[in-house]
Chains A and B, each alone.
Chain A
Amino acid sequence: MKAIVYSCPYIPAEWIAAHGLRPSRTMPGTVGATGPLAIVEGLCPYVHSFINEVMAEKAACGVIVTTLCDQMRRAFDVLTRRCDLPAFLVNVPHTWQTIAAQKMYVDELKRLGQFLIRLGGKPPSDQTLAEVMFAYDSARKSILEARSNLSARQYAETIAAFNRDGPSNMPNKKLSTQPINTGIPLAIIGGPMVKQDLDIFDIVEQSGGLIVLDATETGERGMCATFDRRGLRDEPLMELSRAYFGSIPDASRRPNSELYNWLKQKLADRAVRGIIFRRYLWCDTWHAELGRLKDWANLPVLDIDVGGDSRTHQVRTPNRIHAFLEMLQ
């Protein structure tokens, strides 16, 4: 079955799956690689990689982009002009507190549904949707429960695999029974990671740390809330909206106070002693939060700016992490 490719955490995989199509939340391999679209100053390396990955995509029948950031919104313009893959732009509201914004999100999901139908999907009944949601929910729960049994990298990879392939590939047995490394507990905060970035988890462990909170878009922070069983049964689409739009905190929201509320709770729960703040060069949304996070967190914050060059990955990032852990030790 051909896939519907997307990257935004506010696109419910369940919705795509319920339409009978295969959702695949992509994680580009790297940033900065050459491709059909050249990198230009001011262009977010992640957006650049995403566009190039989509343009090289052979196994998908459609791509979904959202308005989560302006650069992605503009990426849609490029895709519609240069890529034959059918593309759809979902308007994810930045405001979240009003009923109108919440309604807009639901309406956008419905409009997305029309796009999925055009691609061969079938409109799901409430029951079908609820069943799919239940399957995803169960899989997400088991991943969250397995966190303490997995290394930080394994946990991140498991989430990425789940995002890419859904619950169908989840192993039946417990994910792992290996004892977990100890180290100085750290959080990693930021937007979406690429596969190459998972090396950060290893570098941290090799330096005496342990990432206990993956608050990146591709990590725990980007996972929706657990579904309420009654809501799931009675109004699955509204429940889907609540669990996604109503629960995933992000720097792009206005105001983005929920992000800090979520972080406050998680940082305390996991006894985090330091924060790795990972952002892309030219990502204004996250870059602007660095100063605020430093003022707010009362914890040491390490800034890792990723530009897509190999020197960053091979030299700068490891060096900064080593220095950070030295400091914390």
Chain B
Amino acid sequence: MTDTPGQITLQRWDKHFQQLQRAGVPQPSYCGPLSRHVENGDTRLLKLRYDNSAAALRLWNFLLTEEDRLHKARGDGKKLVGTMKDLGTIPVMAYSFDNLVAFYPDGAWWIPCVMELNSSLLSIADKLGIDESFCPVRAMLGAFLTGAHFPIPELLVCSVGATCDDFSAIAQRLNGLGYAILWWEIPHRRTPEADEPAVKLPGGFSAAKSQVEFVKSELARIKTALEDLAGEHLDEKKLSAGIKKANQVRSLLAELRKIVFTAPLCPLPALEMLIAEMLAIHFCSDQKETIAVLQALLEEVKTRAKAGAGFLSVDAARIFWVNPVADLQVMNLLEECGGRICGTDYLFTHALDIIPQDLPPLEALSQMALADPMVGSSADRASRISADIKSFGAEALIISRIPGASHCALEGRVIGEIVRDKLGIPVVEIEVPPLTDSIQPTLRTRLEALVETVRERRKK
């Protein structure tokens, strides 16, 4: 465990890194001072606050070197699969192959934040007619056209159907620019009819068996495409092994989340938890290393929790956070305002649940895909959120709107209503654009007001 858990600046991290090196703390080859990423243009890193553990440094370096890893994988002869929108399903299949690497081009949505709009990705999207009325994931278009970030994958796979309009439209624009996409349908998960066979999905929702069968047929189609790309057959044994590996990541995350969200004193900051959770969806292009990174993080967190060590005030307001933030700095801001994250739904809670291993693997993956809260009704999503709020003991809910995201216009209202009715806790909606510097006072007011409300309610 690091001496005293705390948050430090990037400049202090560079000094801290030298100390770690001198102390002989082993770090993987991709690790190094974070400032080297700033030199490459990731200037936002200068404004963030970081957990001061070696495990957190490893996590950050792992995240920030993903592009290098992808280029190296290409150089090593591996085939790249750009899997879009499904957030957690296709990579499980892709990583079951020996020579495929899957990643989410959607992740480009953070580039404008991390590079503080200096990457020109958004202006490229503007010129294509995809302006700021669309979600920041439009940055993906610029990333494809410039080729300046991730290597262009050999295969692009995109889920459509019960998905948000703006992503679907952006992907179609990409397709219209000449990038071939293998589209697959994820149907809206509905309540099974009274007379139709139903299936209980991981995470608690139910779906009609016919819907599971449909998704299975779609995943089978993708499996064939992956097999053609890899030049390798994916039998049930291999896919089961892939699921087992994915579950290893999910188990680590489940344990991490439980400890971090329920410990009396917060042992890991919200920003590192956000990054850690993101590893679930495509393992940051290296599944094996993801496991190692999470193990290290979990060990640190366990040690801190056992020692009663943490870094926020013991009376920090326990907040459940819905939707990922386009500006990473907001996670720091919440803690500055006196809040701590005790529960999350970053649009991919299905990627955090354990994939059933007692079912044929494609069936298991299909159930997993359908268990995505975004694929069903907002009411369903709200019910899962409510259950998680109870389980983690959160005292308030923040719904973070993503500017331009089609689901945010109506969904937040429904989720807020249901959570208020069910749990009687305060709910606040905020909107977080890629850079929040200029609206910090507004955001700060809302977050501080929420924390004050929570503290007042404790007195009653």
A contact set with B: CB distance below 8 Å: 40-44, 67, 69-71, 73-78, 80-81, 89, 91, 93-95, 98, 100-101, 104, 107, 111, 114, 251-252, 254-256, 281-285, 287-292, 294, 296
Contacts of A101 in B (CB 8 A): 185
Determine if B218 and A71 form an interchain contact, defined as CB atoms under 8 angstroms apart: no
Beta-carbon nearest neighbor of A103 in chain B: B214
Pairwise interchain contact B172-A256, C-beta atoms closer than 8 A: yes
Q: Is there contact, CB below 8 Å, between A288 and B170?
A: yes
Are B188 and A73 in touch, CB under 8 angstroms? yes
A44 contact set on B, CB distance < 8 A: 409
CA A285 to CA B404, docked complex, whole Å: 12
Contact at A95–B170, with CB atoms within 8 Å?
no
What is the minimal beta-carbon distance from A50 to any residue of chain B, in angstroms? 12
Bound together, the chains give a CA A60 to CA B221 distance in angstroms of 42
A23 CB to closest chain B CB (Å) equals 22
In chain B, positions 407-450 with a C-beta closer than 8 Å to chain A are 407-411, 413-414, 417
Distance A80 CA – B218 CA, assembled complex (angstroms): 29
Interfacial chain A residues near B262, Cβ < 8 Å: none
Given contacts A285-B165, A287-B133, A291-B129, contact A78 B410 (CB under 8 A): yes
In the complex, residue of chain B having the shortest beta-carbon distance to the beta carbon of A296:
B176
CA distance A95 to B182 in the complex (A): 10
Is there an interface contact between A284 and B134, defined as CB atoms closer than 8 Å?
Answer: yes
Least Cβ–Cβ distance between A171 and chain B, in angstroms: 39
* B168 contacts the other chain (CB 8 A): yes
State whether A284 and B166 are in contact (beta carbons under 8 Å apart), knowing that A71-B406, A254-B172 are contacts in the complex: yes
Does B48 lie at the interface of the complex (its beta carbon under 8 Å from any beta carbon of A)? no
In the bound complex, residues from chain B placing their C-beta under 8 Å from that of A78 are 410, 413-414
Indicate whether B312 reaches chain A with its CB closer than 8 angstroms: no
Determine the residue in chain A with the shortest Cβ distance to B210.
Answer: A107
Which B residues touch A292, using CB under 8 A? 129, 173, 176
Asked whether, in the complex, the Cβ of A255 is within 8 Å of the Cβ of B409, the reply is no
What A residues does B408 contact at CB under 8 A?
A: 42
Tally of A-B Cβ pairs under 8 angstroms: 142
Asked if residues B172 and A288 are in contact (CB atoms below 8 Å), the reply is yes
Residue pair A70, B163 in contact (C-beta under 8 Å)? yes
The count of chain B contact residues (Cβ–Cβ below 8 Å) is 49
CA distance A142 to B410 in the complex (A): 41
Tell me the complex Cα distance, A71–B417, Å: 18
Closest to B158 in A: A254
A74 to B164, CA, bound (A): 10
Q: CB distance A74 to B411 under 8 Å?
A: yes
Render B100-133 as a binary contact track against A, CB cut-off 8 A, 1 for contact.
Answer: 0000000000000000000000000000111001
- Evaluate contact between A95 and B411: CB separation under 8 angstroms: no
Closest 6 interchain pairs by CB? A291-B129, A288-B169, A42-B409, A43-B409, A74-B410, A284-B166
B165 → A minimal CB distance (Å):
4
Is B183 an interface residue, CB under 8 A from the partner?
A: yes
A252 to B167 CA separation, bound complex (whole angstroms): 12
22 A-B interface contacts by CB (under 8 A): A42-B404, A43-B409, A67-B187, A74-B410, A77-B378, A77-B379, A80-B377, A89-B188, A91-B162, A94-B168, A94-B183, A95-B185, A100-B185, A111-B193, A252-B168, A254-B171, A255-B181, A255-B183, A284-B133, A287-B129, A288-B130, A289-B172
